[in-house]
Amino acid sequence: MSSLLTRDEYQALARTLALPANAVIGGKSTPAIGGGTFETINPATGEVLAKIASCRKEDVDLAVEKARRAFDTGGWSRSHPSERKRVIRRLARLMEKHAHELAVLETLESGKPIYDVETIDIPEAIHCLEWHAEATDKIYGQTSPSGDNVVSTIVRQPLGVVACVLPWNFPILMLAWKLGPALSTGNSVIVKPAEQTNMTALRIAELAHEAGIPEGVLQIVTGPGEVTGKELGLHPDIDMVAFTGSTEIGRKFLEYSAKSNLKRIVLECGGKNPCIVLDDAECLDVVAQHATQAVFWNMGENCSSNSRLIVHKNIKDKLLEQILVKLRDWPLGDPLDPGNRLGAIVSKEQFDKIMGYISKGKSEGAKIVAGGNAQAFGKGYFIEPTIFDNVTAGMTIAREEIFGPVLSIISVANADEAVRVANDTSYGLAASIFTANGGRAQRMARDIRAGTVTINCYGEGDVTTPFGGFKLSGFGGRDKSLHAHDQYTELKTVWTDISDPKQTQTLD
């Protein structure tokens, strides 16, 4: 990890950096064929940062054509696995070298605190790419137990052309989660970043070419979801879409697939994740630290945000007291200041949505115990970390994904009720349990319907563990771990009859 710069140094870098605005197609930085652009905004100031290429059907068609050609010629798809490993590792090294520049681009467009981008997002993205790169030449095929007269191999082959459609909340990290396994298995990849956050994907694609990625193997098409994203979803020559975003748009990709070529669809969607704290939980100050990190990290714009704190009524007041103490560790302000842990909300639209939920919480009778207000720093979109007490399971703020810095506290009487409330959601991405009773923690983990359950901590596992959701939180696969490699490949059986023809009986 590179060391942090000062606020002045980050701001100086922000003033001098070249802001990438063109799509990357066929190995080249290129405007949209029709010349269209859209504005990208700095949510910390409300100012326009750049005009980004707005790709339409003709741009997507061109990118797919280049991707298919690259795949068929085999320069990447059939290259030696150790060669793919070398190139992806070189990309990781270049990202490390350009970490400050990438961090500034990410923060300018997303409003994320640069402290997080430098200390979490970029190091984890680099580690993710390296991990998948290392796996490239360590995964074996299988043979089947089909008897002496047969050699049957079961191999995994790259799918072909894979589109990755990304959200705005972790632009670099979500890119790495998809690129690592998709590239290492030999696919040609077309990325569509969210329209709010394009620049780091564009810059990383440039670095990938510097690292030796062949033309057509990694391309970036920028543009509005309902145009560029839809064209990718409906394209007849794309073999898979790996999507991270809302459940609403995830459903659309299943429709696009059904209407086009039955391309494989993997969805990582939203969450309304519970953090359960029982009355035997140890060290409530440590629990409070995890609980605040779980909901306020990335301003709550996090699919695995533990936005529901389900706590035993006997310890609720004590825990809340500790959480209010921990809130002092979450200064809000200029995201380019590495002293801040909370930055700007990504857009006016998201800001309005969150403020709407805060009003709804108040009108439905929940009690604000912290925050609840917008903060004016110039024309940026800032919201105080907000805590609601006396929330009941039926309230809107307890049911819908807010995707903002808003915690809802729900009191329960015992562990069974806690699990019931935790499962009373249409989502199932993640959950945390705090209790000193190890056996009970394991039983609860078994009973909670979520893709990742953490015990006595908050987290998402690491690159070695699969990440994805039950119910409306996901479909068709997982990010991270070797399971991710599987989903970017197709299984093939090659069956060879090796019986000796001389000994084969002919039937009359």
252 binds ligand NAD (CB under 6 A): yes
Determine whether 215 is an active site residue.
Answer: no
The total of other beta-carbon atoms located within 10 Å of residue 500's CB is: 7
- 412 is an interface residue for ligand NAD by CB under 6 A: no
CB 316 within 8 A of CB 411: yes
> Between 163 and 412, whose beta carbon lies closer to ligand NAD?
163
Smallest gap from Cβ 376 to ligand NAD, in A, equals 24
- Residue 446 and residue 458: Cα distance in Å, rounded? 17
Question: Is the distance from CB of 107 to CB of 336 less than 8 angstroms?
Answer: yes
Smallest gap from Cβ 52 to ligand NAD, in A, equals: 12
Residue 297's identity, in one-letter code, is W
For 42, which DSSP code?
Answer: E
Look up residue 210 and give its two tokens: 């510097």
Q: Is residue 169 at the binding interface for ligand NAD, with CB under 6 A as the rule?
A: yes
Q: Of 22 and 152, which has the nearer Cβ to ligand NAD?
A: 22
Least spacing, CB of residue 224 vs ligand NAD, in Å? 6
The minimum distance between CB 198 and ligand NAD, in angstroms, equals 10
Q: Which stretch binds ligand NAD (CB under 6 A): 32-40, 62-70, 226-234, 279-287?
A: 226-234
268 binds ligand NAD (CB under 6 A): yes
Least distance to ligand NAD from the beta carbon of 437, Å? 30
Query: Which C-beta is closer to ligand NAD: that of 229 or that of 476?
Result: 229
Kindly state whether residue 109 participates in binding ligand NAD, applying the rule CB under 6 A.
no
List CB contacts of 338: < 8 A, sequence separation 6 or more.
4, 5, 6, 7, 10, 113, 114, 115, 118
Question: How many residues interact with ligand NAD (rule CB under 6 A)?
Answer: 29
268 is catalytic: yes
Residues ≥6 apart with Cβ < 8 Å to 453: 430, 431, 432, 433, 444, 445
Name, in order, each residue with C-beta under 8 angstroms of 490's C-beta and a sequence gap of 6 or more.
Answer: 156, 157, 158, 159
Catalytic site residue from 268, 301, 384, 401: 268
Show the CA angle centred on residue 278, arms to residues 274 and 281, nearest 5°.
Answer: 115
Name the region of 78 (left: φ>0; alpha: ψ -120 to 50; beta: rest): alpha
Residues 348-407 that bind ligand NAD (CB under 6 A): 401, 403
Residue with smaller CB distance to ligand NAD, 322 or 452: 452
Give me the catalytic one of 275, 303, 384, 401.
303
Tell me the closest approach of the beta carbon of residue 498 to ligand NAD, in angstroms.
Answer: 45
Dihedral sign of CA atoms 67, 477, 399, 388 in order: negative
Q: Which stretch binds ligand NAD (CB under 6 A): 117-125, 243-251, 326-334, 436-444?
A: 243-251
Closest to ligand NAD by CB, 26 vs 225, is: 225
Binding ligand NAD (rule: CB under 6 A), the pick from 271, 338, 372, 428 is 271
> What is the distance of C-alpha 161 from the center of its chain?
20
180: contact with ligand NAD by CB under 6 A: no
Q: Which of 112, 132, 192, 316 binds ligand NAD (CB under 6 A)?
A: 192
Question: Is 124 one of the binding residues for ligand NAD (CB under 6 A)?
Answer: no
User: Is residue 160 a contact residue for ligand NAD (CB under 6 A)?
Assistant: no
CA angle 444, 450, 451 (to 5 degrees): 120
Distance CA 309, CA 370 (A): 15
CA atoms within 13 A on the CB side of 472: 17
Query: In 3-state terms, what secondary structure has residue 489?
Result: strand
**Nearer of residues 377 and 470 to ligand NAD, judged by Cβ:** 470
SS3 504: coil
Cβ neighbours of residue 432 under 8 Å, at least 6 residues apart? 273, 274, 275, 276, 290, 294, 306, 453, 454, 455, 457, 458, 459
Q: Binding segment for ligand NAD among 35-43, 225-233, 336-344, 389-397 (CB under 6 A)?
A: 225-233
Q: Which stretch binds ligand NAD (CB under 6 A): 4-12, 19-27, 35-43, 267-275?
A: 267-275
The least CB distance from residue 399 to ligand NAD, in Å, is: 14
Taking CB under 6 A as the criterion, which residues in 282-311 touch ligand NAD? 303
Which residues here bind ligand NAD, judged by CB under 6 A? 165-170, 174, 192, 194-195, 225-226, 229-230, 233, 244-246, 249, 252, 268-271, 303, 401, 403, 429, 469
Return the active site residues: 268, 303
